[in-house]
Amino acid sequence: MSIEHKHVAEIFPYDGSQIDASWAFREFGIYGSSIITWVGPVNITPDNLKDFADVGLEIKSNYMINFICEFFDCQPANMRIAYLRQRLLVMIFREILFEKGVETKREGDDIFVDGRKLSISIATASLSSMKIHFALNLEDKGTPDDVDTIGLFDITDEDNNQIFDDGNLVDLVNETVDRFILELETIENDISKTNLL
């Protein structure tokens, strides 16, 4: 499976409409499976909520790194596979944080640092594709008052030095996407070389 990654330098908001099918094609002319990443605020409007459990809740942040993944390799689209890939992406990101000395806790598709919520995520499927939105706070600003949150830029090492900043954010994004794509590709390779019983 070929997956194209595009990191968009322009800052723009995520309002939930980007989870719609073929958004990457409509917005950027990208055919096929893709991962689009960018920095921007998040404020999901009620008409774009996909998770019934989130109805009536505020999902917002002033400053996040956003990942929108879309896959066309499974027809018809499979919601279970979409959620499994979402969890894989979350776990890969946790692995990278661990390698950089950041201890985390995972609850479902949510990542916590020092008991504070770092990420949001949703997976869904349309008639034609499977989609994932995964986003991480960069700063603890503009998030719901009833949620204790943390941003990547708020995380420090033992000497109280900031671990992540604007200088290494894109590298962190690229490393995450590269590992995710590699994992999906190796799964495809393993399938192709496995002798069926």
pLDDT at 197: 72
Task: Please report whether residue 53 resides in a domain.
Answer: yes
197 within domain boundaries: no
Domain with residue 16: its CATH number is 3.30.930.10
Under 8 Å CB-to-CB from 52, ≥6 apart: which residues? none
Q: Is residue 147 part of a domain?
A: yes
In a domain, 57, yes or no: yes
β-pairing, 4-8 with 34-43? Answer: parallel
- Asked if 134 and 89 touch (Cβ cutoff 8 Å), the reply is yes
d(CA 107, CA 111): 7
The structure's pTM equals 0.92
Residue 49 confidence (pLDDT): 54
- In angstroms, rounded to a whole number, what is the distance separating the alpha carbons of residues 126 and 108? 22
Note down pLDDT in tens along the chain; length 197 residues: 899 999 999 999 999 899 999 999 999 999 999 999 999 999 886 555 554 344 345 688 999 999 999 999 999 999 999 999 999 999 999 999 999 999 999 999 999 999 999 999 999 999 999 999 999 999 999 998 889 999 999 999 999 999 999 999 999 999 999 999 999 999 999 988 887 77
Q: What is the DSSP letter of 100?
A: T
196 lies in some domain: no
Does residue 194 belong to any structural domain of this protein? no
Give residue 54's pLDDT.
47
Number of domains in the chain: 1
Q: What was the pLDDT predicted at 45? A: 67
Q: Give the pLDDT confidence score for residue 146 in this predicted structure.
A: 87
Q: Which domain holds residue 79?
A: 4-188
d(CA 122, CA 102) in angstroms, rounded, equals 23
In a domain, 193, yes or no: no
Residue 84 included in any domain: yes
